Amino acid sequence: MINLLGDFGMHWLLKEFVVDSNYRGKLIGTMLYHFSEKYIQSTMKEGWKVAIDLRSSVGLEKFYSNLGFSECPNESMGNGMEKIIFKH
């Protein structure tokens, strides 16, 4: 399940991103994310740049890094992460 919150402009927040533990490691999370990013791109106008932000659970930073997110370190919980996408 993915819950996105966006302004249909410059910023989107990936509020929730959950894959049942029985289905992890089967590329379902990766496919869900790519589907969501394609949806976001479908809302963008030509030449737009959009930020996608999230708060990672501890230990999942590598998963998000593999999807193109950069870490924004945080000492008290999982790192905040951000990815900038462009519409060409």
pLDDT at 59: 87
Q: Could you tell me the residue ranges of all domains in the chain?
A: 2-86
Residue type, 77: M
Report yes or no on whether pTM surpasses 0.75.
Answer: yes
Rg of the chain (C-alpha set): 13
Question: What does the alpha-carbon distance between residue 84 and residue 68 come to, in Å, rounded to a whole number?
Answer: 9
Which tens digits make up the pLDDT trace of 23-54?
Answer: 999 999 999 999 999 999 999 999 999 999 99
The DSSP code for 22 is: G
Compute the mean pLDDT over every residue in the chain, rounded to the nearest whole number.
90
Residue 14 — very low, low, confident or very high, per pLDDT cuts 50/70/90?
Answer: very high
On whether the CB atoms of residues 77 and 58 are closer than 8 A, the answer is: yes
Instruction: Tell me the fold of 2-86.
Output: Aminopeptidase (3.40.630)
